[in-house]
Structure 1
Amino acid sequence: MSYELIHHGGHDGVTGSCHQLRIDAANSLLIDCGLFQGAETSQDGRSGEDALAVRFPVGDIRALVLTHVHIDHVGRLPWLLAAGYSGPIYCSEASARLLPTVLADAFALGISRDTRHVERYLQLVEARLRPLPWRQWADIPTQRGARCRIRLQRAGHILGSAYVECDVAAAGAAAERIVFSGDLGAPWTPLLPPPRPPWRADRVVLESTYGDRLHESRHTRRQRLQAAVEHAIANGGTVIVPAFSIGRTQELLYEFEDILHRQSRSGGRQAERWARLPIYLDSPLASRFTALYRELQPHWDAEARARVRQGRRPLDFAQLVAIDGHDAHLANVRRLARSGEPAVVIAASGMCAGGRVVNYLKAMLHDPRHDVLFVGYQAAGTPGAAIQRNGPRGGYVDLDGERIDIRAAIHTLAGYSAHADQHSLVRFVTGMRHWPREVRLVHGEAGARAALARAIEHASSGQIVCS
């Protein structure tokens, strides 16, 4: 029996992830329900509220499973509930802790800032949440004799991220195991244990964001991060790091703490400069998530927990300065733009599509003293993608309707991506003891999907079919 896979987003692009596994006419699972971002306005090109509407029937959906709490995987939850979905929402225990903060912020930005509406929405979601421990099977209630169980395994993308193993069977049919990768992390992602391939699968729905490239090693990327900052120190400029509030921000803080620690032990002129370098976290939301990350230390990997035992504070070191209020933010932008004080600023949004990072970019992009450091994927159609593309050629970008010339140095460190590269994605499939017969590639641009398909089929000598 072959079960039907239907994609309501995140199939032909990298946002809006939403995948339906139909067991039979009366039973299906929904894996993620995320927002579209950038040029990927919607699955069918609609814009505005029309893009957000859930246009598929929800009556046969027995459970929603969330792989992780990034907005492109959970952001359409209000519209799913409005469409009539009233079933359980499964996720990992760490994701259940992080999810309310993500949803409250997204709801306030996109729907209503009325605290009563936000609270009512969160109550609806929290009443349906079913947090699951790692590696334990959970039975999903079904109808008409169908069977379904799921198990979450660590995906290493952000704290709490999971890939989902689904054992499903229609009445009287043999069971089949379908694995949904969600977003897989690189093997050396700070703070998180690396993902391990499942034992077996019949079919795999696999992300392909970086399916056409390889990442730098951990040592190389740390060297490049340090070099970019030291370039700005020498110029008397600021390193602006557009970062996602959850995941990438905390990983960067972890890496900066390690560089500061190493410099303090090495001595010399650069060490003295690093010791005076402020690292500003200018995002109230990122600060809240960083506090949650600190509370969730039991979910960190062994290396990070060992640093805490040594008395180090990977996410709360002395040179970290959190900026909360809007007035303090604007004052910091003005001061850094004119002062010549070396500094690092980490601010959202990660794709420069809004948030406080835009004010820093508007004030500093035209000045060659400063540097912009991209450490995450920039979706087509976002200002971040335009800066990344045009900046090295001395081009421009439109921010808030204003054309800004790009004279700052532009750096991209792909090694800090929270997504697995081609090698790790291939290994996720071929590292199984029993290979799947089919891999469905999602969450990637056309070139990345095609390159990954070739790599998987080559590594498996054609025994695995990619679609």
Structure 2
Amino acid sequence: MELLHHGAVTGVTGSCHELRLANNLAILVDCGLFQGENTNDTEQPIDFLHPGIQALIVTHAHIDHIGRIPYLLEAGFNRPIYCSAATAALMPIMLEDAIKIGLTREVLVIRRLLLRLKRLLRPLSYQQWTAITAIPGLAFRLIPAGHILGSAGVEVHYSPAHTESGSTGPARRIVFSGDIGCRDSPLLGDPQSPDYADILVLESTYGDRLHEGRAQRQQQLQAIVERCLRDQGTILIPAFAVGRTQELLYELEAIIAAFQQHQLSGASGMSWQDIAIVLDSPLALRVTEAYDDWQHWWDTEARRRVRQGRHPLDFTQLHIVPDHDRHQATVAYLKRTSAPCIVIAGSGMCTGGRIMNYLQALLPDARTDVLFVGYQAQGTLGRELQQQPHQVTIGNKAITVAATIHTLHGYSAHADQQGLLDYVAGMNSLPGEIRLVHGNTDAKKMLAQKLREHFSIQVTLPTA
């Protein structure tokens, strides 16, 4: 048995792992896009595809976990793609957008790729053991990861085939954590630890830091928004279409409901109920509609709001930008007026999408505030802006940065260091080995140290 990593070993993007077994038979877990430093969205090689790969199992629908699937299909992959039912609903939405950005805008090519994808998708329920018949002795199940809608960890159980001379080896349990979410997220269930693992492949995005609690982060969001609006300026929030956007809408609706009559000092009599929240992301809108369709997966708190007649993802102050013409008009209006409002637009790391037009138009205005609520990979404009530069380049143009830049780490969809330690502690028995992936070098080293201190366990940092 061999574990190979075709991404997410030197950073947090490009997740793709191969479990290779006897007779060169293998499965893939995730096939994500590389983003940020030293990457090119038009060059995402699939140099690991071989005839022995019998299936792809997808943990969730973020592009850094599914974005190379179109390239995989074009390379000839024609095996089942297993995932949760919600991920199967989200994946075509996400990949259609990714194909248009990174591969082609040819309608027929996009349609053909999506049809091939849908034919291969095999939606599964959580906890459902599924055999891959082409690999004797192998079965897997999905367990809730609490990261985004439909996210899952993957437990793989492999019992090598028996021969006349006996078994070819002991049974083994390999667990791929996928991305682990935070507990108490209102639109998701909590992450669930696996029973046990001989090898645990564990994400480490925030292995070197702790997040604020939910109440604290909501207070910080409220304080930052109120402070920004006192200057009568626009707040730009680059947000990921899946997960972060929906969580932000949920929190903003809660603040408006609690403080709708609260007047913002120095803001010309404005109160929270006067604040326009602009969602300018066709992709995020489609995903938000999907979240709405899966309300039965929301937690008790969120479902209670709906029963009370409130809707955390569709409320009066929320304004949708329906098309490109309205988008251009909105950007031009805000550039001319810097009207006080909150704009949520993709992409979350400022690597493309409609947020780029807002940044180009409004970064030179000192009344503008940019609020980051998610991880910014090395080499992205988002990470560059977090360093508080005086100037950035957008579309080959030098743009002065007079805006104020804020970062709220508490809105991450990833578990922090303590959450990752809790994930391991929640297992019925400790794994024989933990392999850390999906994190930068400092995060992996710090988490490895903490894991060894807490559990006296073997921790490795693979490089390939």
Contact 2:34 2:41 in 1 (8 A): no
Q: What is the aligned partner in structure 1 of residue 145 from structure 2?
A: 155
CA distance in structure 1 between the aligned counterparts of 2:116 and 2:49, rounded to whole angstroms:
20
Gaps of 5+ in 1: 42-46
Tell me the residue number matched to 2:383. Answer: 385
Work out whether residues 388 and 405 of structure 2, in 8 Å CA contact, stay in contact via their aligned partners in 1: no
The correspondence for 2:285, drawn from 280, 284, 287, is: 287
* Aligned residue runs from structure 1 range 2-401, under 5 A: 3-41=1-39, 47=40, 49=42, 51-143=43-135, 146-171=136-161, 172=167, 173-264=169-260, 267=262, 273-391=271-389, 395-401=390-396
| Letter paired with 1:77 | I
Q: 1:169 Cα deviation (Å)?
A: 2.6
Q: 2:406 aligns with which of 411, 430, 437?
A: 411
> How far, CA to CA, are the matches of 1:268 and 1:416 in structure 2?
25
Instruction: Tell me, yes or no, if the aligned pair for 1:62 and 1:141 is still in contact at 8 Å.
Output: no
Conserved 8 A contact 1:13-1:40: no
Deviations 1:148-204 (A, max 9, x none): 111111111110010111101332222111110111111133411110211211110
Is this contact kept in 2: 1:165–1:180, CA < 8 A? Answer: yes
In structure 2, what is the Cα distance between the partners aligned to 1:330 and 1:82?
34
Q: Does 1:438 align with 2:430?
A: no
Distance 2:41 2:281 in 1: 26
Q: Name the CA shift for 1:434/1:108 in 2 (closer, same or farther; >3 Å).
A: same
Q: Give secondary structure in 2 for the equivalent of 1:390.
A: coil
Whole-Å separation in 1 of the counterparts to 2:335 and 2:217? 27
- 1:278 and 1:321 in contact (8 A); partners too: yes
Contact 2:29 2:59 in 1 (8 A): yes
Mapped contact 2:73–2:113 kept (Cα < 8 A): no
Identity of aligned residues (%): 50
Whether the 8 Å CA contact 1:215–1:414 is kept in 2: the answer is: yes
Instruction: State the TM-score, normalizing by the size of structure 2.
Output: 0.94
Number of the residue aligned with 1:44: none
Unaligned segments of structure 2, at least 5 residues: 162-166
CA RMSD of superposed structures (Å): 1.6
Q: Please tell me the residue identity of whatever aligns with 1:6.
A: L
Q: Is 1:459 matched with 2:459?
A: no
C-alpha separation in 2, matches of 1:107 and 1:421: 31
In 1, are the aligned partners of 2:262 and 2:272 still within 8 Å (CA)?
Answer: no
Distance in 1, Cα, partners of 2:327 & 2:263? 33
Describe the shift of the 1:104–1:340 C-alpha distance in structure 2 as closer, same or farther (beyond 3 A).
Answer: closer
Residue identity in the other structure for 1:409: T
Distance 2:149 2:49 in 1: 31
Looking at structure 2, the residues matched to 22 and 303 of structure 1 have their Cα atoms a distance apart, in angstroms, of: 43
Query: How far apart are residue 58 of structure 1 and its match?
Result: 2.4
Per-residue CA deviations over 1:356-407 (Å, capped at 9, x if unaligned) read 111111111122211100001111111111001124xxx2211111122222
Kept in 1: contact 2:30–2:59 (CA 8 A): yes
Residues 251-306 of structure 1: CA deviation (Å, up to 9, x unaligned): 11111111111113x65557951110000001111111111111111122222112
Once the two structures are TM-superposed, the CA of residue 40 in structure 1 deviates from its matched residue by 4.4
Distance 1:101 1:57, change over 3 A: closer
Q: TM-score, normalised by structure 1?
A: 0.94
How far the C-alpha of 1:337 sits from its partner, in A, is: 2.5
Whole-Å separation in 2 of the counterparts to 1:148 and 1:60: 14
The residue identity in structure 2 corresponding to 1:337 is K
**Amino acid in the other structure paired with 1:191:** L
Structure 2 Cα separation of the partners of residues 117 and 340 of structure 1 = 40
What is the alpha-carbon distance in structure 1 between the residues aligned to residue 252 and residue 153 of structure 2? 29
